[in-house]
Structure formats: structure tokens, C-alpha cells
Amino acid sequence: NAGVTQTPKFQVLKTGQSMTLQCAQDMNHNSMYWYRQDPGMGLRLIYYSASEGTTDKGEVPNGYNVSRLNKREFSLRLESAAPSQTSVYFCASSEEDRTYTFGSGTRLTVV
Amino acid sequence: GENVEQHPSTLSVQEGDSAVIKCTYSDSASNYFPWYKQELGKRPQLIIDIRSNVGEKKDQRIAVTLNKTAKHFSLHITETQPEDSAVYFCAASITGGGNKLTFGTGTQLKVEL
């Protein structure tokens, strides 16, 4: 099993450009999440999907949109990237017992 | 919403010593408390977790304690080794509501030879 797969691993964007971060899991988990990680601030929840067909805002949703395409896939979109969105982005999925499995991360730089 | 505070932000110990990292949480409804280890450039990995029906859990050199009355929980690492050097995150969650985890800000642990 691959677990949670994120693409791309690295990306550099210019201010105002758009992009989609892809995430897929093969563990048949119902819940999926997008977090961003910034130095000294831990992991902060951007959006989550408790089950296929539902999405909800987390702690820092501004500037992002998400799509739960099916049970396996949960994408994160930046419509107009800003330097403040420079961060490392982690996708995760979880069992009902709340054990999380994280993807390997996407390091995004907005210049 | 839930707020998790974690201390210290950095911790340096000598190899073989013990290390303790402490977290407090705000929502008394929280009932699941995992700890994650993140090595440089890697993804967070679950190392131990505790649920609110127990007060302590051990796994070899790692233990977690939970005090629900005081709303705090701690990670204890004994006989530290250089490979324990990493960033450690605590987190808290309530049942339902998407099982969201709220993370602390992390502790950089350095084990010196």
C-alpha cells in the first residue's frame, strides 16, 4: 500500500498564479485533511472532509478551496497565490479511531 | 475551538537522560491525545497516543500521561538516544466533527552525545 500520496513535492509560484495540490489515499479512510506547517506554528488545519461529499473549513481556510473528488482523493486549490501562502502543506487521512497517516508534504514557495 | 499549548519549544538533553514535553488543552470534551515525531524534511509520524479512559500508557522508552482534571498531558522519553532528536508535536481531538486534530506548536528535542 502506498498510504497517502501527495503531488507535487516542490513548487514555486509567482504571486497571483493558481495551482492545485493533489492528495490520494488507498486505505479506504473516510476522513481527509489539509494542514499547513510554518516554523514555530505547528500544523494548522486548512480544510477537512469528514466523509465523501462533505468539506468543512478548518482554522486557516482563507485563500484556499478544496474538492473531495471521491473517497480516495482530496485536492487543495490556491486560486491566486500570495507570499503568505509559502509553507509546507501536508495531506492526511484517518481511521475512525483518529489515527492519522500523513503524506510526504508539498513545499510551496510563492515569490 | 480547541487550543493546545506545548512547552518547551526547544529541549536539549544528554544522551541517556530523560526528556519531558508538556501540553495543555482547552476543550474539556477532548478525548484523544496523540504524539507525533517529525524528523527534518519528513512527514509527522505517530509515536504514541492516549485516550481519555486511561491515565498513562507506555511503549518501551516512551510514555504518555494524561490529567483530565487539569487538562494537560505529557510525553516522557527515557534513556534518550541521538536518534530521538526531532520535533515532537502533541495534539488533541474530540469524538466526531470530522475527528480533527489540533496540534501544539512543537518541541525541538536535541540529544547530545
d(CA B88, CA B44): 9
Task: Please give the full DSSP string across B22-88, using - where no structure is assigned.
Answer: EEEES-TT--EEEEEEE-TTS--EEEEEEETT-SEEEETTEEEEEETTTTEEEEEE-S--GGG-EEE
Q: How does pLDDT run across A14-58, given as a tens digit for each residue?
A: 999 999 999 999 999 999 999 999 988 899 999 999 999 999 999
pLDDT of residue A1: 64
> B106 to chain A, minimum CA–CA distance in Å?
6
Q: pLDDT truncated to tens, each residue of chain B (113 aa)?
A: 899 999 999 999 999 999 999 999 999 999 999 999 999 999 999 999 999 888 999 999 999 999 999 999 999 999 999 999 999 999 999 887 788 999 999 999 999 99
Question: Which residues on chain B are in Cβ contact (under 8 Å) with A33?
Answer: 98, 100-101
Smallest Cβ–Cβ distance between A99 and the set B1, B46, B104 belongs to B46
Q: How does pLDDT run across B39-66, given as a tens digit for each residue?
A: 999 999 999 999 988 899 999 999 999 9
By the 8 A CB rule, do A106 and A78 touch?
A: no
Q: How does pLDDT run across A52-87, given as a tens digit for each residue?
A: 999 999 999 999 999 998 999 999 999 999 999 999
d(CA A27, CA A72): 8
Over 70: is that where the pLDDT of A108 sits? yes
Alpha carbon separation from A46 to A12, A13, A66, B108 (Å, rounded):
20, 19, 9, 24
pLDDT of residue B17: 97
Over 90: is that where the pLDDT of A99 sits? no
Using the Cβ of A59 and the Cβ atoms of chain B, whether some distance falls under 8 Å is answered with yes
Mutate which: A9, A25, A43, vs B, most B CBs within 10 A: A43
d(CA A6, CA A105): 6
A71: helix, strand or coil: coil
Residues of B with CB under 8 A from a CB of A: 1, 6, 9, 32, 34, 36, 42-46, 49, 89, 93, 97-106
Question: Which residues on chain B are in Cβ contact (under 8 Å) with A96?
Answer: 99
pLDDT of residue B45: 96
User: What does DSSP assign to residue A16?
Assistant: T
pLDDT of residue A40: 83
pLDDT of residue A39: 86
pLDDT of residue B54: 82
